[in-house]
Structure 1
């Protein structure tokens, strides 16, 4: 399974925001629903906090899709 690289401008981003940016959620409500349903993992562990701060290198997965945070050098 391939991991999509998603660049962010800062060093951190909230999980809900990242799901939208990475195209793993259609909008904020969809992101919230995915998280509350336990369908989202961060680095292989289920995450239920929408405000969870993600850092460069973290891998977020929803279903069969994965995305890794990167930053512009």
Structure 2
């Protein structure tokens, strides 16, 4: 499956915030559940820390969908 690319304007973003920002989770509570249940992989490894910092180049996978964090380019 192809990656969906999500640019961020900061140097990093917390995993739970990313799940909400990318509309993967409807709420912070739902993001927390996804992470705690081991449904989220970061760079191919299950990640159970919602505070894990994602940086440009990281890949998040959940339920077969992949999302790539990229650097936001200012035009």
The TM-score range, normalised by the shorter chain, is: over 0.9
* Matched pairs, number: 73
TM-score by length of structure 1 reads 0.95
* Structure 2 unpaired stretches of 5+: none
Partner residue of 1:24?
A: 24
Root mean square deviation of aligned Cα: 0.7
In our comparison, the structure showing a higher alpha carbon Rg is 2
4+ runs of 1 displaced by more than 4 Å?
A: none
* Structure 1 unpaired stretches of 5+: none
TM-score by length of structure 2 reads 0.92
